[in-house]
Amino acid sequence: MITTLDQIFVLLQHWLVSFLPAWLQPAASVLLSVVVIVCLFPALFALTTVFERKGLARIQNRLGPNRTGPFGFLQPIADGIKSLTKEDIVPSTADAAVHFLAPIVLVVAVFMGFAILPMGRNMVLVDMDAGLLFFFAMGASTELSVFMAGWSSRNKYSLLGAMRAVAQMISYEVPLLMSSVAVVMITGSLSLTKIVEAQDHYTWGFPHWYIFTPWGFAGFVMYAISATAETNRSPFDLPEGESELVAGYHTEYSGFKFALFFLGEYLAMFSISGVGTTLFLGGWSAPFSWLGWVPSWIWFFSKMFLSIFVFIWLRGTLPRLRQDQLMNFAWKFVLPLTLLNLMVTALWRFLGEGWERWVYCSAILLVAYVGMGLLGMRRGNLGPRRYRYAE
């Protein structure tokens, strides 16, 4: 019974495909999974927008949307109808072909990232050996679409937004990759299913998730920071800073193309949260061994939504960074720490079992964090800043 519930989607897929002739079955089963992914995540996106608006409202002691349907939960449908019926404006001087392609390229690239996500036991579309590499390659190609959008619009705000976006995404791509490499070093595999399996065992009922190790914790924090920047979420939402850039690279988009950008952004957030969950939070494995009877896909999606909640929480808390603060933070703080984290991971690997490796690794990371923090604060790179003119 428990296994049936755990594998219900896999069994359902096998059952549906079994009606087809044998030569059609492999293609049909892939197509079915693709359709499910393409329908499921936009639906989650719609839910997330309304939860985000309500959550942010509560953080500011407001009510949030409550007019459309019960508690305002039909708001995304109203938003969807609105964006579909709006006029699709293309600027007369815009490069029409590139302007049209940019949102499509973004959404396609983002959807590709979901192919390698293990959403439950045996629930992965393509079990690639180099899954993580594929994910980051797809993530990097979203930068292209952002620049396409900014360049083809022929608008100074779009172009400035796109340049900021590309600078930011390239800068944070490095720590994002570096913090994930630590996991690959320990697991010895780029396959995300292998990474989850490596974390899916327990000592005294507690799981061996990588976040519960010194290098894993540091890596997770840096992964979270870089992921926030990579998906252009607040406080790193400079490419869309409405106070200075109207709406950034999608200023000249309206109607459904704008909705596609919006969708792409949220889907990127989902996939990057999913990969973060898989790398550091044990993917679909249960948090305690006695909770093993709960279906694995429930754990994956609850962990993913927990990450989304943290994204929203951060958005409700932190003000936007300035461009130089953003760059300083990436190159002078996060990147050196991720490099150090790689060393610490190697040390962890070669110290072997025992208590020593916990002490040494934690101490090195803690000293580095505090020391670099103090240094950065003294220089004024990271700490609170005094403005001569605003005293």
Partner 1 sequence: MLGEGILKGLAETAKNFFLSYVSAERMTTVEYPEQRIAPIEAARVFPFLVYDGADWAAGLRCVSCQICEKECPPKCIYIEKSKDKKPDALGKPQFYPARFDIDISVCMSCQICVEVCPFEAIKMDTVYELSTTDRFGGLLLDREQLAKPNAYYNEIHPTEAAKVDARLAAEKAKANAKANAAAAAATGGV
How many Å apart are CA 378 and CA 248, to the nearest integer?
33
Residue number, 55 or 241, with CB nearest to partner 1 = 55
382 sits near partner 1 (criterion: CB under 8 A): yes
336 sits near partner 1 (criterion: CB under 8 A): no
Minimum CB–partner distance for residue 211 and partner 1 (Å): 17
DSSP for 133-170 reads HHHHHHHHHHHHHHHHHHHHTT-HHHHHHHHHHHHHHH
Minimum CB–partner distance for residue 56 and partner 1 (Å): 9
70 sits near partner 1 (criterion: CB under 8 A): no
Residue 173's alpha-carbon distances to 51, 201, 217, 272, in angstroms, are: 28, 31, 19, 12
313 sits near partner 1 (criterion: CB under 8 A): yes
206 sits near partner 1 (criterion: CB under 8 A): no
Give the burial class of 27: count Cβ atoms within 10 A of its Cβ; 0-12 exposed, 13-18 middle, 19 or more buried.
Answer: exposed
Residue number, 27 or 63, with CB nearest to partner 1 = 63
Asked if residues 226 and 178 have their Cβ atoms less than 8 Å apart, the reply is no
Q: Total binding residues for partner 1 by CB under 8 A?
A: 22
Residue number, 59 or 343, with CB nearest to partner 1 = 59
Return the H-helix or E-strand segment holding 311: helix 296-317
137 sits near partner 1 (criterion: CB under 8 A): no
Which of 234, 252, 249, 226 is CA-nearest to residue 329?
226
Binding mask 361-380 for partner 1 (x = CB under 8 A): --------xx-xxx-xx---
Return the H-helix or E-strand segment holding 207: strand 206-207
Residue number, 94 or 382, with CB nearest to partner 1 = 382
Site for partner 1 in 41-60 (CB under 8 A): 55, 58-60
Retrieve residue 240's tokens.
């869309």
Residue number, 81 or 374, with CB nearest to partner 1 = 374
Minimum CB–partner distance for residue 321 and partner 1 (Å): 12
Interface ranges with partner 1 (CB under 8 A): 55, 58-63, 313-314, 316-318, 369-370, 372-374, 376-377, 382-384
